[in-house]
Amino acid sequence: MIKRSVFESSDDGRSDVVYSTLTLRQLDQKIKHYEHKYGMSFSRFKRQFSCDYALPWQISDYMDWENLLHERTARQRTINKLTSSKP
């Protein structure tokens, strides 16, 4: 499945992201960017996040960050399955 999102952020303006085309290195770089930008992990950011008080670009950052983590997790599961099934 191809996951594609269009985001409006304070960093890059409007961007069209196709997560399946990003390398693991690019995924990690983008995740680290958000961790540095907000000074915390996504799980902590998620606990503190409120749509009622967030700015539009913060909502976009939230969705992009979450999608990056989902893509990385899905790839790691695939890699783990492939390496564990080798004879």
* pTM metric for this prediction: 0.80
Between 40 and 80, residue with greater pLDDT: 40
pLDDT of residue 57: 86
Domain that holds residue 51: 23-79
17 within domain boundaries: no
User: What confidence tens digit (pLDDT) does each residue in 15-26 have?
Assistant: 777 888 899 999
What whole-number distance in Å separates Cα of residue 17 and Cα of residue 3? 8
Give me the residues paired with residue 20 across strands.
none
In a domain, 38, yes or no: yes
Asked, for residue 12, whether it belongs to a domain, the answer is no
Is residue 8 assigned to a domain? no
Domains: count for the chain: 1
Rounded percentage of the chain residues whose pLDDT exceeds 70: 80
pLDDT tens by residue, 55-69: 988 998 999 999 999
Residue 60 lies in a domain: yes
Beta bridge partners of 16: 6
Give the model's pLDDT for residue 7: 59
Question: Quick one: tokens of 24?
Answer: 């693991």
How many whole angstroms separate alpha carbon 81 and alpha carbon 61?
30
Does the residue 28 lie in any domain? Answer: yes
